[in-house]
Structure 1
Amino acid sequence: MLSTLTTSGFADTPATSASTTFTSIPVVDLSQAESPASKATFLAQLRYALVVVGFFYLKNTSMPKNVRDNFVQKSIQLSELPLEKKLKIDMVNSKHFLGYSQMGREKTARITDCREMFDFLTPLPAPGPEDPVYLNVQGPNQWPDEEDVPGFREAVETYLEEVGKLGDTMKVLVAEALDLPANAFARFFNTPARNKVSVLKYPVPSPAKPCSVANDEGYFQGVGAHKDGGFLTFLLQATEHAGLEAQNKLGDWIPVPPIADTYVVNVGRSLEALTGAVCTATTHRVNLHPQYFFDANKRSLGPRYSYPVFQTLKLDLTHEDLTSLRLPAHIQDLVKDDKIKSDAEAFFCRFHLQSPGQGIFTARLTSHPNVGRRWYPELTEQILKAQKEFNEGS
């Protein structure tokens, strides 16, 4: 954890004396931000987490326990429904990439991921026919039948509302940690902000029929190495499984195991773009190694359930908007000598720099090509071809 932070740079930390990389994920206590006596310490720790790590645990949030627990309970019920009921809200039926994505339908870096997923969005209107096509990453949700999971929609909407409040708090604190005015990021967001939750289920590995094959390092792809596209991601790891890993700037994979009553928060490409890469959008993945599905007493933990909420900027911001923020010189200097050995999915970088909507839309076409081919066939083939050529040439 950061001991002292000055305007000229970072002090020594347990992770590194040079402040260029990390070997563990810091824990930041949000309650410290509420007291003038401890707020400076909190902001120093947050700055280190944003700039050096790009990941941190956030504890003592305002999330009501009953709201969180109800959301988790209903989400597990949804994930455990028979396949035919889940397919009623198949993502392929939504031009907005919302609903259910069954096992084997999602790809990261052109490799199939091993998980099921449901996506639900803050209530936002669909774009009009004359609007840019990338705005179609927002629109109406597909909801399961009420009798299949009673109370599910209410649980999700209440949870998204509460995470939205946490996101509003963090927007201010991130600005203050970077020595910006408290409202510096407000103009880049809708009111309320666009938040999307993914209900994720990673299956127990089957030795007889694994859906993910180990590489030489013992890595089984749950979701492949990637960077999130938004401002901040608020991840609730709902079960005890290890497997989430973040890649430091030297290319090493650092475990991010669950810590009770915390959120894992990570920087997305939009915050990285707004800050001129001062804040780090860190590459991460989920490793489904069979050992992670057992506790210390060798008892099965069952499926891994995980629930990220992606806090997104206005979709139609331009490149000029994204590069209009001016950070203080001493903040920019914190990363001037950094060298990063990992940049997962570098193909998407230019799209995210064009606009948040363009970046997210492009990523959805490649990660859910079955949806893209139904609704945007020509664009999908163009993007998949460009991605293949980029990867083969890099």
Structure 2
Amino acid sequence: MATTTEIETRKIECFTPTFTSIPVLDLSLAQSPVTKPKFLSKLRDALVMVGFFYLKNTSIPENVEETFVERSKAFLDLDVEKKLEIDMINSKHFLGYSRLGCEKTARETDNREMVDFLTPLPAPGPDEPVYLNVQGPNQWPDESAVPGFRCALETYLAAVGRLGDVMKTLVAEALDLESTALAKFFNDPPRNKVSLLKYPPPLSPLHSKDDNEGTTRGDSQGVGPHKDGGFLTYLLQATPHACLEAQNKSGMWIPVPPIPGTLVVNVGRSLESMTGGVCTAATHRAKLRWESFVDSKGNFLGPRFSFPVFQTLKLDLNHAELSSLRLPAHIANLVKDEKVKSDAEAFFAKYHLQSPGKGIFTARLTSHPDVGQRWYPEELKQALKGQEEFQSS
């Protein structure tokens, strides 16, 4: 039995006011009744105090992950004309390829290419809310472009989907709820989206030196500070570039470098909303610095490849349904007096409180204004106006 001193020490370790590193959780510990309590305790701390964690031993087959990475890189390395055959602007569901410079975060241009695919789900009917159009059929490239691409992607997405089913149960248990408490918030089958991301290297210091200040102009915004909109995100950092950073509750940027054999998991706005802010959706970004694109020996690493899967709730949950979860008092009180100094893109928070679908749809409009202009010009106009007013207030 733990002594009083040991218990107090654990409290200090677990409930520090902010974090300075990202915890590593071993999912295999959740498989044994002996070690599961330890895993759930670490998961609770990560959800509430950090909002980010590495997850190892995920049970995703190694060959499934390797084939997915190989085929995804091959597609992203195709000539842009080939990728534009599935241009996102042709999809009213924001699915397909978005070329470099077409995406924005907080009204600033992101320096990355993106291809989005969704688990097979039907498009909404004409009389259903417009925000449900963030769901619909994928655009697939011709099989001859990258043989085996679709099969590899669907196999990997299904594997992460199974992991997501396990995690929604473990999240409930970590919050001292019934294991099935969160099931009602998800579709069956659930809505999961994968993004294939390619980040170009910045200019080297030799080409970007500012003689007046002695600094470099090569650093750029891979993706700007933001919070994900879903329940949990499962990120595979497929190359060794150390570009990802998470912001702690004091506003400090903490590196989230790749760790082989892990996924990076982070809390989204939907989980934050449904727990009344107890679970933390941490702000994060990808900062492109030249030093992150060379190894310790100075060898060039090439582009950064990153593949997140976004696990989302039912899109049409309303505010009453989203706020119906009742956390035990001892869980709710963990962050009673905490104040987060920064909430990137806080403009979207009110939409996520209304429903997950509205939050995701509004974010997609502002992130991909070219797609919004083609399919939803009035909704885009309103969203951009609201975003501008919010940022200038």
Q: TM-score, normalised by structure 1?
A: 0.94
Contact 1:8 1:330 in 2 (8 A): no
Matches of 1:258 and 1:178, distance apart in 2: 28
- Paired residue for 1:112? 109
Matches of 1:310 and 1:68, distance apart in 2: 16
Tell me which amino acid in the other structure corresponds to 2:361. Answer: F
- Paired residue for 2:345? 345
Structure 2 residue matching 1:37: 3-state secondary structure:
coil
Tell me which amino acid in the other structure corresponds to 1:147. Answer: S
Distance change in 2, residues 1:303/1:323 (3 Å): same
Identify which of 13, 21, 24 aligns with 2:21: 24
Matches of 1:318 and 1:10, distance apart in 2: 38
Q: What whole-Å deviation, never above 9, does each CA across 1:104-135 have from its counterpart, x for those lacking one?
A: 00000000000000000000000000000000
- Paired residue for 1:174? 171
2:156 corresponds to 1:159: yes
Tell me which amino acid in the other structure corresponds to 2:376. Answer: Y
Structure 1 residue matching 2:266: 3-state secondary structure:
strand
Q: What whole-Å deviation, never above 9, does each CA across 1:62-112 have from its counterpart, x for those lacking one?
A: 100011000000000000000110000000000000000000000000000
2:356 corresponds to 1:359: no
Matches of 1:123 and 1:56, distance apart in 2: 28
Contact 2:97 2:116 in 1 (8 A): yes
Q: Give, in angstroms, the shift of residue 218 of structure 1.
A: 8.6
Matches of 1:67 and 1:309, distance apart in 2: 15
Tell me which amino acid in the other structure corresponds to 2:103. Answer: E
Q: What whole-Å deviation, never above 9, does each CA across 1:299-353 have from its counterpart, x for those lacking one?
A: 1111000000000000000000110000000000100011110100000000000
Contact 2:218 2:290 in 1 (8 A): no
Q: Give, in angstroms, the shift of residue 192 of structure 1.
A: 1.5
Distance change in 2, residues 1:344/1:8 (3 Å): farther
Matches of 1:215 and 1:351, distance apart in 2: 40
Matches of 2:11 and 2:260, distance apart in 1: 29
Matches of 2:258 and 2:366, distance apart in 1: 29
Q: Give, in angstroms, the shift of residue 298 of structure 1.
A: 0.7
- Paired residue for 1:42? 39
Structure 1 residue matching 2:111: 3-state secondary structure:
coil
Matches of 1:145 and 1:230, distance apart in 2: 30
Q: What whole-Å deviation, never above 9, does each CA across 1:165-192 have from its counterpart, x for those lacking one?
A: 0000000000000000000100000112
Matches of 1:308 and 1:105, distance apart in 2: 19
Contact 1:238 1:307 in 2 (8 A): yes
Structure 2 residue matching 1:199: 3-state secondary structure:
strand
Q: Give, in angstroms, the shift of residue 18 of structure 1.
A: 5.2
Q: Give, in angstroms, the shift of residue 11 of structure 1.
A: 1.2
Q: What whole-Å deviation, never above 9, does each CA across 1:221-269 have from its counterpart, x for those lacking one?
A: 1000000000000000000000100000000000000000000000000
Matches of 2:218 and 2:323, distance apart in 1: 40
Structure 2 residue matching 1:326: 3-state secondary structure:
coil
Tell me which amino acid in the other structure corresponds to 1:29. Answer: D
- Paired residue for 2:211? none
Tell me which amino acid in the other structure corresponds to 1:100. Answer: Y
Contact 2:234 2:264 in 1 (8 A): yes
Structure 2 residue matching 1:192: 3-state secondary structure:
coil
Identity of aligned residues (%): 67
Q: Give, in angstroms, the shift of residue 12 of structure 1.
A: 2.0
- Paired residue for 2:266? 266
Matches of 1:144 and 1:168, distance apart in 2: 29
Structure 2 residue matching 1:103: 3-state secondary structure:
coil
Distance change in 2, residues 1:10/1:132 (3 Å): farther
- Paired residue for 1:228? 228
Matches of 2:72 and 2:261, distance apart in 1: 18
Structure 1 residue matching 2:54: 3-state secondary structure:
strand
Distance change in 2, residues 1:249/1:215 (3 Å): farther
Contact 2:202 2:219 in 1 (8 A): no
Q: Give, in angstroms, the shift of residue 36 of structure 1.
A: 1.0
Structure 1 residue matching 2:309: 3-state secondary structure:
strand
Contact 2:248 2:282 in 1 (8 A): yes
Matches of 2:120 and 2:269, distance apart in 1: 23
Contact 2:273 2:353 in 1 (8 A): yes
Contact 2:202 2:220 in 1 (8 A): no
Contact 1:7 1:330 in 2 (8 A): no
Long gaps (5+) in structure 2: 209-213
Q: Give, in angstroms, the shift of residue 19 of structure 1.
A: 1.7
Q: Give, in angstroms, the shift of residue 219 of structure 1.
A: 5.3
2:197 corresponds to 1:200: yes
Tell me which amino acid in the other structure corresponds to 1:328. Answer: P
The count of corresponding residues between Structure 1 and Structure 2 is 384
Runs of 4+ more than 4 Å apart: 6-10, 207-210, 214-219
Tell me which amino acid in the other structure corresponds to 1:322. Answer: L
- Paired residue for 1:92? 89
- Paired residue for 1:128? 125
- Paired residue for 2:73? 76
Distance change in 2, residues 1:390/1:64 (3 Å): same
Q: TM-score, normalised by structure 2?
A: 0.94
2:18 corresponds to 1:52: no
Contact 1:231 1:270 in 2 (8 A): yes
Matches of 2:59 and 2:297, distance apart in 1: 33
RMSD: 2.1
Q: Give, in angstroms, the shift of residue 220 of structure 1.
A: 2.3
Distance change in 2, residues 1:295/1:351 (3 Å): same
Q: Give, in angstroms, the shift of residue 206 of structure 1.
A: 2.8
Distance change in 2, residues 1:326/1:219 (3 Å): farther
Contact 1:7 1:331 in 2 (8 A): no
Q: What whole-Å deviation, never above 9, does each CA across 1:21-51 have from its counterpart, x for those lacking one?
A: 1000000000000111111110000000000
Tell me which amino acid in the other structure corresponds to 1:190. Answer: N
Matches of 2:18 and 2:325, distance apart in 1: 25
